[in-house]
Amino acid sequence: MLLTVDLERLRLRPGERILDAGCGEGRHCFGALERGARVVGLDLDRPSLAAGARPLRTRARELGSLGEMIQGNAFQLPFPDASFDKVICSEVMEHVHDFRGAARELARVTRPGGWLAVTIPTATSEHLYLRLGDEYFESPGGHIRIFRPRELALGLADAGFATRGVGFAHGLHTPYWVLRSLVGLPDADAFGPVRAYRRFLIRATASPLMERVERVLNRICPKSLILYAERCAAPARAEAA
């Protein structure tokens, strides 16, 4: 299963409650469930939820655990304060105007001492795609900002998170999005090399050799950056001072 977040680095443990805010079809939900967590996924997109919700519930019943997906947004999470031990927010912040507001809401539902993993596209890859074609940013639901890691870390600190680690992922995906940007996103799926590369990516997820190759590429041309942060009892900046 292709995960952006390293669940070991997130310190996920069996029995913990985890929220995947912006879960899509639930790849991190399934990954966390298999590690013994109790999982809630949240997303605005109904088709994605429809694709993932029933399989997640079925697998949760098989494991004697909890696995649910609900519709909602990161600015109004329908959960009490400190509801979750761990929170994932993967490839969401680049789509929202007020990412600091989203970070505050994620902090609200994370217990003190809990952990958050936020993933964003790397600035290098985003600038590359932008040079190749405007459609990457102008397509409906596209990205509205290019993050610098420090900008995201400061936003998390203002919300009460202290960044404890950084990771990189999906070096094999960078060429894929280069191809899509070159041919134009609306028509990319009709382009033979794009379809061929997608098939290669699917096979690569099950290949130990390609996993080692990707670890090398993650040092050269990663598509995603991950910040691992701890929810502080006091504001993160005050603690650092």
* N-terminal to C-terminal alpha carbon distance within the chain: 40
**Mean pLDDT for the chain overall:** 90
The pLDDT assigned to 240 comes to: 40
Contacts 24+ apart (CB under 8 A), 208-215: 210/172, 213/172, 214/170, 214/171, 214/172, 215/171
- Which residue has 């655990």 as its token pair? 65
| Nearest alpha carbon to residue 151 among 100, 96, 226 | 100
Q: What DSSP string runs through 130-188? A: HHH-THHHHSTT-------HHHHHHHHHHHTEEEEEEEEE-TTHHHHHHHHHHH-GGGG
Q: Provide the pLDDT confidence category of residue 136 given band limits of 50, 70 and 90.
A: low
- Which residue has 């105007």 as its token pair? 97
Q: What is the mean pLDDT of residues 134-139?
A: 58
The pLDDT assigned to 234 comes to: 62
Counting residues of the chain whose pLDDT is more than 70, the rounded percentage is 91
The pLDDT assigned to 132 comes to: 74
CATH assignment, 17-122+139-170+223-232: 3.40.50.150
The model carries a pTM of 0.89
- Determine contact, residues 74/43, Cβ cutoff 8 Å: no
Count Cα neighbours of 181 within 13 Å in the Cβ-side half-sphere: 20
The residue ranking higher by pLDDT, 238 or 195, is 195
Domain boundaries, the chain: 17-122+139-170+223-232
Q: Provide the pLDDT confidence category of residue 238 given band limits of 50, 70 and 90.
A: very low
Instruction: Tell me the longest C-alpha to C-alpha distance in the chain.
Output: 55
How many residues can be counted in the chain? 241
The sheet that has 84-90: what strands, in order across it? 67-71, 38-43, 17-21, 84-90, 110-121, 224-231, 161-169
Res 4 pLDDT > 70: yes
Q: Provide the pLDDT confidence category of residue 135 given band limits of 50, 70 and 90.
A: low
Q: What is the mean pLDDT of residues 133-148?
A: 68
122, with CB counted inside 10 A (0-12, 13-18, 19+), is buried
- Determine contact, residues 117/10, Cβ cutoff 8 Å: yes
- Determine contact, residues 232/162, Cβ cutoff 8 Å: yes
Give the SS3 label for residue 215.
helix
Instruction: Give tens-digit pLDDT for 26-45.
Output: 999 999 999 999 999 999 99
